[in-house]
Amino acid sequence: MIRGHGGNIYALAAALGCPTDAITDMSSNVNPFGPPPGLVAHLQDHMTRIQALPEVDAHGAVALFAERFGIPEDQILAGNGTTPLIYSLPRALETRLALIVGPTYADYRDGCRQNGVDSACWLTRKEDDFKPDLVAIEDVLQPCDTVYICNPNNPTGCLVEGEALRRLSRKFPDKTFVVDESYLPFVPEPDECSLMAERPANVLVLHSMSKIFRIPGLRIGYMVGDPGLVDRMRHYALPWSVNSLAMEAVRFLLRPDEGIDRFVEATRSRLTEEKTYMTRRLAAIPGIRLYPSVTGFFLIQLPRPHRSEDICREMARNKILVRDCANFKGLSDRFIRISLQDREINQRCAELLESLLAT
């Protein structure tokens, strides 16, 4: 999917006739406090790396992920972000029918569509705060051979316990479960929910470095899975998919350094504070509904008769970009998603939203 993601600061800047850095982007789910200290300086010091081709198979990055996570190299594939991995999965897995637990990130469905693969969407309900009922999912996944679960989920911010996902995947060993953990580093105690370390053979885990480290422009993602499944994916990998600067970033971010761990910890606690602040501010608006989220973004249902398109347009006119969720299957033009920033920006966003919803 080329259009329909958040983060299009370029189109808004062009429409408003201003530079992109004049736009406050609350539509893209990256860490507002990143990148981690020292990363940009490290990249500047290694700029000359762009004069040579990167490794054709990103082996250096795979080796660093393997060492850091204690996982054999043949269980890891690195990519130019998780996006190309998502788009080659249906082909590599020879999926016939996919089940997607939604409302969720649209690229799973688009990845299927681009490969001529049918997909069905199993939708969680707003009455349940969009929390998936894994028992109910068991009843519908029989005809499918691949199941997509985003954990925590974008855009609902819901988290399913790792053990519950493990149980579900073990119960259906003939199906492949693709679990996207791109937002898991934002959750306190992420290892408890991750399937990476203790992973059933039919589970593929996706991870993105774009989000927690705020480096979406560098494009680094990886997949962890059974060697057989990873090998099938490797057939569809493109040469040089982790570029030279991205490789330097992996080297910097994965080296043993308490500074990076402290940065991630500090991100979590600052986001918790900001979430409490925004929830308190926005919950006071009559008719609004905020859905509980374990991440740095959260889903908002607008009070009637407000529509997401109008609210997003007015916020954009004020140079604040928030995500219109009308194009998520299972949501409607009454939903927007906001990615938390620092206090000053959150306050500005809350004031604007309050005034727009009061009219």
Ligand X SMILES: Cc1ncc(COP(=O)(O)O)c(C=O)c1O
**1 vs 7: CA distance, rounded Å:** 14
- C-alpha dist (Å) from residue 96 to 56, 104, 262: 31, 20, 44
Question: Which residues 6+ apart lie within 8 Å of 28 measured at CB?
Answer: 5, 6, 7, 216, 321, 323, 339
The nearer residue to ligand X, 102 or 285, going by C-beta atoms, is 102
DSSP states of 257-319: -HHHHHHHHHHHHHHHHHHHHHHHHHHTSTT-EE---SSSEEEEEPPTT--HHHHHHHHHHTT
Helices 258-283 and 343-358: angle between axes, nearest 10 degrees: 20
What number of chain residues touch ligand X (CB under 6 A)?
Answer: 12
Assess 105 for contact with ligand X (CB under 6 A): yes
- Regarding 95 and contact with ligand X (CB under 6 A), the answer is no
Element (H, E) at 338: strand 335-339
Is residue 221 close enough to count as binding ligand X by CB under 6 A? Answer: yes
Within positions 169 to 198, which residues make up the interface with ligand X, using CB under 6 A?
Answer: 180, 182
Q: Is 210 in the site for ligand X (CB under 6 A)?
A: yes
Token pair 């609210």 is found at 311
Smallest separation, CB 33 to ligand X (Å): 18
Sites for ligand X among residues 142-161 (CB under 6 A): 150, 154
Q: HSE, CB side, 13 Å, CA atoms: give it for residue 121.
A: 19
- The verdict on 216 binding ligand X (CB under 6 A) reads yes
- Specify the residue, 195 or 285, whose C-beta has the smaller distance to ligand X: 195
Here's the x/- map for ligand X, 60-89, by CB under 6 A: it reads as: ---------------------xxx------
Could you say whether residue 208 binds ligand X (CB under 6 A)?
yes
Q: Which is nearer to ligand X, 106 or 230 (CB)?
A: 106
295 binds ligand X (CB under 6 A): no
Considering the complex, what minimum distance in angstroms separates the CB of residue 210 from ligand X?
Answer: 3
Which residues make up the interface to ligand X (CB under 6 A)? 81-83, 105, 150, 154, 180, 182, 208, 210, 216, 221
